[in-house]
Every structure is written in C-alpha cells, then in structure tokens.
Amino acid sequence: MMRWNDHKTWVEIIPPNLFSYAECLHFLSRSDSEILHQINGDSVYKLIEIKEAFLLLKVTFDSGHLMVEIRNKDTSLTEREQVARYVWEWFGFDQDLEAFYQIANQDELLKPIVSLYDGLRIVSIPDLFEALTWAIIGQQINLTFAYKLKKRFVETYGSSLSFDGKTYWIFPSAQIVANFQVEDLTALQFSARKAEYVIGVAQDIAAGKRSKKSLLDMQSYSNIHAELVSVRGVGAWTADYCIMRCLQHPSAFPIADVGLHNALKKRLNWDRKPSLEEIKEWSKAWEGWEAFATFYLWRYLDE
C-alpha cells in the first residue's frame, strides 16, 4: 500500500508482512565504495531520475512503514506515484517470499539460514543497462575492484546532484555510453574486452533492440536466459545475475558463482568447495526459487 501527504515531499509505503528493513539495509551497506546510494544511520539516500527530473530520496523505516522523503523539491502526484513504484521495486515488494519459505523450510541446507534472515528480500537493480553493466564489470575480478571500477565509471560519466554539501550520483545512461569509444573506458582501467561488451550492450538498448519490458514479456526463464546469453559479453552467470537482480525472476540461478560455492562450503563445514554436480543435485529441491536460495546463501557468507 502507498500513501502521499499534502506537502508534496513524502511517500509512505506499507510493505508486505514479510519484510526486514534491517536485513535489506545490511545488503545495501556491504561496500564503503558504493556510489549509487549513501547510508547515514538507518537512512538510505538515493538519487533517481523521473522524466528528466532528479529526485533525491531519503528512505527510513518507522512503525512498520517505509517513509520516503523527496528532499530536493516539491513533486507532482505523478512524480510521487513513480517514486513509490521505484522504491517498491527496489526493495522487491512484489516477491513471493512466503512461497519461498515454504520450500526452504523443508530443505536441510536452507532452513537454518532463512530463519536467521527472516524478511530479507532481493534488493533489485531496476535499470536494465545498470544491471548488465554491473554484472559485466564484476566478471572475473574481486568485488572490491569491481566497486572501484563502477565508482570511476559513474563519477566520470554519470549525472549528479549536490545537496546539503554532499553529492549524489545516477548511473550513466545507455544513450550516453552507446557513443563511447573503447578508449573511454580503458582509461578507467576497464579491460578492452569489457569496454567492448559494455558499449555493445549500451548500443543495443539505446537502439531499442533490447529492453527490460521486452525481456519481461517473454515470461519464461529459459527464453529470457537464451536471449541474454545471445548478447556479446553476457555469459550464463551474467545473464542469471541480471535476471535475479533486475527482472526479479525467482528461477535465476548463477550456479557457477564463487560466492555461492563459498557459502555452501561454509554451511556444510567442508574443507573444499562443492562441485557443480553436487550443487545441481541439492538445488533440485529449490526448483523455481533458486534466486532466493542464492541470495540467502550470499547473506550467510557475510557472517
């Protein structure tokens, strides 16, 4: 449920029953190098763009409600509705967590984990270009360096807003990046191959060849996955990461993910990582909910 006040600067969102703001805040706090949102105490600040207007959001949680203040301007009813939709998607409020818990609570591997992080939702990346680019940036490098590359990319080519002495950033658009040369990104320490991939994805999206809506309209996970892996630079892991974080499809399963393997090793208390064959066997019990299983195992790895 969403509500708006008369002062044109607030949106109030009543989340689904299964929601832990603390757990989602933990996920959003995982790197000090994050550039696309800022956390101050229990508040999250995020700059978004709606119809060429930059809106600075301050998100807090109070008495079971998510309170969203638009800090930099009065907004129209249409703008506040779009803010509400953005935040609703960002925090994954359409996800059927109850159905996942019914599966997880019957699984020996997952049951102890989901009880630890009750109410954790898959925090999404609503923009397709951002999701694909972030996944490509993260290919075959550690997370610390991936965040550094993203920070350079955003600060060099993204849009920003200064407010109360701080600067907030928006991810570069596909339309801008589509006109880049490889050298524009290798100057930021992107590999030449990754630079080619990111520019290619930007050109496809800018030309309307591929969109979030067109992917969602496919509905079938296998069809969406096949479409994404047909993109140069998008392999199975990258496709599944995007399907999980942007399209929020519960069947997405980045089975080759190193973090997933390390989390399972920790959960099993093994001295080795499990094989892909072992993971495939265990995951049969998670069919249709692999994205949630993966996200919760990533959370478990943080402990």
Task: List active site positions.
Answer: 257
**With contact defined as beta carbons under 8 Å apart, do 222 and 239 qualify?**
no
Q: Which of 218, 281, 283 is nearest to 249 (CA)?
A: 218
- Helix (H) or strand (E) segment spanning residue 187: none
Question: Token digits for 27?
Answer: 């996920």
| Partner residues linked to 184 by β-bridges | none
Residue with tokens 């296998």: 222
Q: Which of 231, 255, 259 is nearest to 131 (CA)?
A: 231
Cα separation of 207 and 203, whole Å? 6
Residue 217 to residues 86, 184, 220: CA-CA distances in angstroms? 19, 34, 9
Helix, strand, coil percent values for the chain (each to nearest 5): 50, 15, 40
Residue 73 to residues 23, 80, 162: CA-CA distances in angstroms? 30, 11, 13
Cα separation of 133 and 154, whole Å? 11
Helix ranges (DSSP H) in 138-257: 143-157, 174-177, 182-186, 192-206, 212-218, 221-229, 236-245
- Name the DSSP letter for residue 211: -
